[in-house]
Amino acid sequence: MNKLVEQIIRDPEFAEGEAWRRRVFSPGDVVIREGDDARHMYLVESGSLRVSGRVELEDSRAIQPGLADLGPGDLFGELALFESRPRTASVVALEQGVLVEIDCERLSAYLDARPEVGYALLKAMYRILIDRLAKANQRLEHLFAWGLKVHGIDKHL
């Protein structure tokens, strides 16, 4: 995936400063905040980041569990390519690094003019989404089994 994105950002028709830019981040920097409008996707060039979501608890408390860690070569925020909607998670830097921040509106126009590149990118994104969905399903299964055991329900199954 990252080779395909690197090919796109090297293309003079997809100009740095207009269609994309490099963004340096430091530990603790919020790259994406849950609820913000989605207009960019990101490729991690270096460093590491954590994806987390907000979970409301019964007594007006909230926790923000880590959902995934990202590192060099990882792509995130890619759903903004298809629709601008509020972000469903936050992404915070764990260490110093560099991102490639890509304007999804400009990328969409670029890919419309180059359907073969668009098709290859879409296939690569589907692979990422399928992997993320499989991992999320596995986490849900483990959490569900843990909940059954903690509450003694597993004895009745």
Query: What is the rounded average pLDDT of the residues 112-133?
Result: 91
Domain presence at residue 155: no
124 is a domain residue = no
Q: How far is CA 12 from CA 20, 33, 113, 115, 151, in A?
A: 12, 31, 14, 17, 59
The answer to the question of residue 127 being in a domain is no
Residue (of 62, 1, 72, 2) closest to 34 by Cα position: 62
Q: Which residue has the higher pLDDT, 157 or 24?
A: 24
Residue with token string 């903690």: 150
pLDDT, residue 50, reads 92
Q: Would the CA dihedral through 80, 121, 45, 136 be positive or negative?
A: positive
Residue 38 in any domain: the answer is yes
131 assigned to some structural domain: no
Identify the three-state secondary structure at position 33: coil
pTM (predicted TM-score):
0.80
Q: What is the pLDDT of residues 53-106, one digit of tens each?
A: 766 667 776 555 567 899 999 999 998 998 888 998 999 999 999 999 999 999
In a domain, residue 27? The reply is yes
For residue 89, what are the domain limits?
2-110
Instruction: Specify the pLDDT at position 51.
Output: 92
Q: Give me the number of domains the chain comprises.
A: 1
Is 149 inside any structural domain? no
Q: Which CATH number fits the domain that encloses residue 101?
A: 2.60.120.10
